[in-house]
Structures are given as C-alpha cells and as structure tokens.
Amino acid sequence: MILERFYPKVWADSAYGLPYENMAKKGIKGLIFDVDNTLAFHDVPADEKAVQLFERFHKLGLETCLLSNNKEPRVKAFAEAVGSHYVYKGGKPGVKGYRRSMELMGTDARHTVAVGDQLFTDIWGANRTGIYSILVTPMNPKEEIQIVMKRFLERPILWAYRRKHPGEPVRGTA
C-alpha cells in the first residue's frame, strides 16, 4: 500500500518514555532525534528533562544526533546543552541528513533508531534510509501554519495506520 512508506515502526506518546535500555540491549548504538515538538516546544531551549534524558543515553553508551531542518543557531544551542552531535538544515525527508547523522555517530542503519513527530519529514526520511522509525505525539498542539497544514495531510495516513496497529500510540513505555 502506498501509505505504508509513511508508517512508523512504532507510534509512542513521547520521546521521554521510550524503552532505551531495551534498545541498547538489542544492539542499537545510535539515536537520531528531531528537536522541535519531539524533545522541546518550538524554539524553546533544552530544559533539565532533556539534559537528563541525554545523560541517560550516554550512560547506556548510546551515541546521539539531532537532525533538524531548522537553522544552525537553534540546533547547535540545543545540541550543546544536551551533549549531542547535530545536523542542521538536514533536508528531511531526504536521506543525506540521516546518513550524515550516522556518520557522526559511527553507526549504520541497522544499529540506529530515529525519533520524530512528523510523518512527512522525520518518519518518511528514516524509512527511506532504512532506519527504524518511531513517531511520537507532538508535544505542543499549537503550531505554525505550515505544520498545521502537514498535520491535516497526516490524518488519513494515521487513520490507516491505527487500523493496522490498534493499540498505538503506546503510552507509558518506559
């Protein structure tokens, strides 16, 4: 089915509740994250919760990379606060930003997971690159108009996805 190219492997409530310890045990070496509405509200700096999450990753031996279509000042500041690699103006859903992220982390597609809140950029890009994709529910329901338009277009795909995966989004997976 044509819509399946946009389907995540998993749909979860939040990037903050995923079972990262299980991922590490299963051989995942790197995590790629979108920033805005995945880890923080749009244009909001990294908070203590985000810093603690990335400390948890580092204790698990996981590499991280922030992959965003946003400009460098936004992505770099967040990356510095959480101690992560980053790629700005990533060109999602293109594969180049994902490949660059894996290069920075020293991982490959089989050992990498990508987490994001948008089907047409984060999930489709990860899927095109062969990376395990996790969709998270957007943190803030109030978004810029161009994102609102994408969310409208995402609805039929998410409806079809829910029909195949009736238990998702997964809540409280930590």
> Which comes out higher in pLDDT, residue 39 or 137?
39
The token duo for 94 is 């293109």
By C-alpha distance, which of 170, 164, 132 is closest to 1? 164
Please give the DSSP secondary-structure letter assigned to residue 122. Answer: I
pLDDT at 171 over 70: no
Q: Please name every residue paired with 112 in a beta bridge, in sequence order, or none if there are none.
A: 30
Q: Please tell me the predicted confidence (pLDDT) of residue 159.
A: 77
Confidence of residue 172 (pLDDT cuts 50, 70, 90): very low
pLDDT of 107 strictly over 90: yes
* Mean local confidence (pLDDT), 47-51: 97
Q: Are 98 and 32 in contact (CB under 8 A)?
A: yes
Q: What is the pTM of this model?
A: 0.88
d(CA 15, CA 169): 12
Q: Torsion angle of alpha carbons 126, 130, 136, 137, nearest 10°?
A: 60
